[in-house]
Amino acid sequence: MTDPDARAEILDLAALEARPVPQLPPGESLSVEAAYAIQARLVARRLARGERPVGLKLGLTSEAKMKQVGVTEVILGRLTDAMQHPEGVSIDLGALIHPRVEPEIAFLLRCPLPPDPTPEQALDCVEAVAPALEIIDSRYEGFRFDLGDVIADNASSAGFVLGHWHRPDTDIGNVPISLSLSGAPCETGTSAAILGHPLNALAAAGRIAASRGIATAAGDVVLAGAATAAVPLSPGARVGAEFGPLGRIEIRAGAPEDPEN
């Protein structure tokens, strides 16, 4: 059986050193329960280094991603303050293995999520909504993993950028979203691709958090999941994301010689 502390250390070092590790061999696949236990230890190592928990992220929220990993349930990862970047910033790619970026919708909570909320009950806990970009980075070679691997790897969490906050009653059910790289359009989608409505993802976050003993609190950010496929980030790229009435977010992928890195 996989030792959870040893596995958490392997994944933590892979992220710290930006060096990928192999996924577990098929005979050693993790159960979902074992995988969340490793994730908890992995995040505890970050907190022990002084990082602060700031919320949660949903992963595998689109049908395409679920199919890719062969699952029917979304997954949860945890966000820390060290993962948040200000808008417009240059992201240090040297600290990442094979980063990708994807547009999402973010929620700011005004109270803890109930254990199994309806989307309407989840909305009652929302202080504000915002457009967001998530930077994902699998710690596994070739971005190859099974369900247990990716949960253990904190759902590929690596970074996130928030746009401007809007009122909680803003209609986020079908926001048109487009992503461009250095001015060239590359992905389009809508927030309806996030489990049919981002509030369904927020409700799922409440359900999974409760079932895994993960607390939520006022002030937490919850990333609802991707509205388009994730796009590889390469040095020097300018990423622009348009979220219709919610606004626009821009970041840059730092080139190695970039003075900001």
Task: With beta carbons less than 8 A apart as the criterion, state whether 203 and 109 touch.
Answer: no
Q: Which of 143, 126, 135 is nearest to 221 (CA)?
A: 126
Give the three-state DSSP class for 76.
strand
CB nearer to ligand 0L1: give 60 or 152. 60
Q: CB nearer to ligand 0L1: give 12 or 104.
A: 104
Instruction: Choose from ligand 0L1, Mg ion, none: what does 150 bind? Cβ within 5-8 Å by kind.
Output: ligand 0L1
Provide the minimum distance between the beta carbon of 49 and Mg ion in the complex, in angstroms, as a whole number: 23
Least distance (Å) between residue 178 CB and ligand 0L1? 18
How far apart, in whole angstroms, are the C-alpha atoms of residue 72 and residue 5? Answer: 28
User: Between 155 and 255, whose beta carbon lies closer to ligand 0L1?
Assistant: 155
Check residue 134 for interaction with Mg ion (CB under 5 A). Answer: yes
Residue owning tokens 């999520």: 113
Nearer to ligand 0L1, 59 or 240 (CB): 59
Partner from Mg ion, ligand 0L1, none binding residue 14, C-beta < 5-8 Å depending on class: none
Number of neighbouring beta carbons within 10 Å of residue 108:
19
Asked if residues 12 and 45 have their Cβ atoms less than 8 Å apart, the reply is yes
155-176 burial, b at 16+ Cβ within 10 Å, e below that, comes to bbbbbbbbbebbebebebeebe
Question: CB of residue 137 vs Mg ion: minimum separation in angstroms?
Answer: 11
91 binds Mg ion (CB under 5 A): no
Write out the residues near ligand 0L1 by the rule CB under 6 A: 59-60, 65, 134, 136, 138, 150, 155-156, 225-226, 230
Residues that bind Mg ion (CB under 5 A): 134, 226
